[in-house]
Each structure stands twice: as C-alpha cells, then as structure tokens.
Structure 1
Amino acid sequence: MTRVTARRPTLRVTATGEIKRPDTLAVEEPLEIRLGGQSLTVTMRTPGSDIDLVHGFLLSENIIATADDIVSARYCSGTDENGQNTYNVLDIQLRTPTPIQPRGFLTTSACGLCGKTALDDVRARTRYPIPTDGLTVDTAALATMPDTLRTQQAVFDATGGLHAAGLFTTDGTLLAVREDIGRHNAVDKVLGWALRENRIPAHDLLLIVSGRASFELVQKAVQAGIPMLGAVSAPSSLAVDLAADSGLTLVGFLRGETMNIYTGAHRISGIQG
C-alpha cells in the first residue's frame, strides 16, 4: 500500500537564515471508485482505509444501506513508473447491481443549486431519519472530544496537513478516528468503519471533525443517522440550514470550554437555555 507520507526537499526561511532540508508531507493520490467494473467517481485522498472510505461514500450517496450490500471490494491492477501497484482503483461488486448513469452526488448537490433544492434532495434520500429524542451529552464531555481527537492524529503530527474525523460515545469515549487530506474523505472513512461494524444508523454516536462544518459534512452525518456534529471551526450557513431541517444538533467553534450551539440545543445538558 502506498505510504501516507512522503519526503520532499524544501528551503526553509527563518529570521536567522535559510535551511535546506527535506519536509514530510501528506500524500495525495486519486482513488477511482468503480461499481461492477464501471467508473463511478474519482476522489483525491490520502491512501489508507480505502475500504472504509468507499463504504462511507456509498452510504452517504444512498447507494448502499448496510455493509451486506457490498459483495466484494478489490483493487484493480495498475502500476506506477516503477512497476509497483498504485492501489488507486477500487472495484466494488454490489449485491444488487446498480446501473451507472450521469448523476448529481448528494455531496455536491449544493453546487449550482439553490439552498432549498439541496435541502429537499437530502431529505428525499435519507434512509435513517434522526430521532427527536434519545441522545444527550453534557457540555463537559463534549468539550473534551476535540482534544481527544487531536491526540490520535498521528499523520497530522508528522505533516500538519490532514483533517480528522472521529466517532464518540456520549461519555467522550473515542471509538474510531480517520485522517485524510480531504475532510469529506475523513468523514467517509469513519462512517465506513461504523457501517462495517454494524453501527449504522448511528443514533447513539457523535461525529467530531477537526475543521469547519460544511454542507457536505452535515449531509453525511444525516445520511448515517448521527444526531450530533461538532466542529472545531465554523459552520457554513447552508450547513446550519440542513442541520435545522434534519433535526441534527450542530456545534461549531468547539474549543476547550467554549462552543457555539447552532441547532438542537435540547440534546446538550449543562446549559442554561
């Protein structure tokens, strides 16, 4: 399997002078996803956990509902200039074959469409509606989750260039974490883990991401039935609209003891109002 990091020469400029030295970078390579030998899409990702990534992507796009919907996943042959397998083409055999045709993916449905159309599209395709009750989490436990996630970002420590996504229980226990150059891929990878572990719909889990909360990340949480998404940075306006429309609790600027609760405050205990 391709390495997740690579070394490249760099010239570092500092206040005291210049230093020539190699730098450790996160690898970015294409992954072509095929269904039954036909190309579905290509995503730029950091190699690793590709099987999880594909499971999560197909779940997010409403192509599969359970891990049993996939019969097999195998890398196709393909070599680089050194004759080594690139592991950059993954062919999926579905239990019920799905014809490949031009389609708009849910993850890009906000592009070129009005906000209402994007929200309606997600609502129409959601398999696992989020229950209005059930999961609650205390602010003290919620506040610990970004730091817990950060301690598990080994590749970020080496490169400073990867996003992370983690699935937590309400008491702050981290069940799974995945890193990737793309924040949407990191989420797909961790959702794919949950699907393969039979944890979807994930009505009892929280999704925590290391960056901002975009429309596509909220959409992926909704498709997996996750009631709460917490982000270290800001959400977008359409992300907040989708969270409100779907009944998802959305928390942004989750840093230390501070946080902004944009939707679904009823799931968070330890607040006044």
Structure 2
Amino acid sequence: MSFAITLRSVTLKYGAEDALADVDLELEAGKIYGLLGRNGAGKTSLLSLVAAFRRPTTGEVLIGGEPVWENAPVVSRVALIREGGDFDDTETVKAIIESGTIRPSFDADYAFKLAERFELPLKKRVSALSRGKRSVLAAVCGLAARAELTMFDEVHLGMDAPTRDAFYKELLAEYMERPHTIVLSTHLIDEVANYLEEVVIVDRGRILRHADIEAFQGMGATLTGPADAVDALGLAALAEQRLGGTKSITVAEPLDAATRERAAAGGVEIGPVGLQDLFIHLTDPNRNGA
C-alpha cells in the first residue's frame, strides 16, 4: 500500500472558527516533507486529521486512497509524535518504551539502542524528565515506531543544538535504510532545510505554497544597490530596507536573464534568500495576499 497523503476540500472547525479552510493537498509517498507555518496557522490541526486524531468537518482525508477515519489497519501504520509525547507521566522511560510494542512495527531493540545513545535514564519516571529529555523520548518512540508514515510535530522543542543535530542525522539514516514518508513540522527551518525534499507552507488555515525544496531555494533573491537602480527594476518586493542612498529588497520570484543584466548594469548586487527568511516574508501578516 502506498502511503501517499490526500486532502480534498478539507475544512476543520473549532466551534465557529476555521482551523483549516477548504484545503487540497497531495503528498507522494516515500519523501521527507517540511510543514511550515506560524503559530496557529493550522499545522497541528492538519497533522491531527492525517493521523485520525480528529475528523474533518467537511472533505476527505485519505492515505493510499483510503479514508483514515476509523480505519485501524491504516492508522496502525501511522505515527504522529507531538511535542513532549503523549505519555503517562507516572510510567518509567523503560516502561514507555516497552509499551510501544503494542504497535505492530515498533522496534524495541532499536528504541533501547537510541535511548542509550541519547542518554535517556530508563529508571526515571516521565514526570521527572527535563523538557529536553522528554522531547528525546518522544523522538525515540517516533523513530522506533517504524511506521510507514511518521509525523513529528515540533518534537525538537527542548532539545539542545547537539541533540537536535543527532536526531536529524538519525532520522535521515533510518529513512535511507527504510524509505517511508516523513513529515517534519518545525520552526527551526534553516536547521532542517537540507534534509527536506518538499516544503508545505500553511498560513491562516490554508495551503500558501507547496513545492520541492529546489523551487523554494531558487524562488527568492535579495537585490542591494543604489535606490534609484533598485526601483528602476520594477520588482514587487516582499520586504525592503533603506540606508541613505542604498536600498535592499527581497523578492519571491526567480529573476530572468534580462532582469539580472539590468541589475548588474545599475550596480545592483543579487544574493540568495534562505528558506527561513523567505517563509517569514511570505507569511508576514502585514503583507497583502499573505
């Protein structure tokens, strides 16, 4: 069974408010996706629908062409790991890992190996763990689930930089060994950019952009030079800065050869835009059309 994800005209309401509104999305199986969005944009709601934690108000959520809601054979092969995990705080780390074996594909040996690598204290209760160690436990359980679709929702929160780096590398190694579908919801965009194949940006409950990482990397540019020369290019700017007679603008569209030639002739320098900066500009609530 292919674990491709399909959302068709999906709306999710919390009371009178739309958490998601008329969302259409197609994600192929066997790729690593980045799910980006500001707080409250709808990322967690989207993942909850895919994992069948919630039922859409309207529309369809499918995995491999099958509805996920109340579909145990499909849902048993899907893992959604949320920040801090969904654990019984009275249990020990060892007991939590051992309880993971109720999932048909859970690899307890791998989980204990990861627990040793990330220095998880097996005898401690979850309630006694620091925020970082609790996040590590959630990540370990997600990796060891060996699910066909694994979704990490801000699971890195609380981890220090070396631990996050080790988690990303382990995630990639596990993916290379056993190709499957991974979705990473994160605010640490530049940290994970090199691991992603496609990026989905959610903004105000709708899909703002969905493209492969190369398209995003070639999407924007910064142009810096004499203000008159920058203005003469006639480009729609996502953001701009000015210092004296020098002006810098950020654009979201690729530049054609003619524009590049005019920029060079006017003394305007062209530079790249990082994925995180592009995301910030695209979702700026003060920008028309964001």
Higher helix proportion (structure 1 or 2): 2
TM-score, normalisation: structure 2: 0.24
TM-score, normalisation: structure 1: 0.25
Bigger Cα Rg: 2
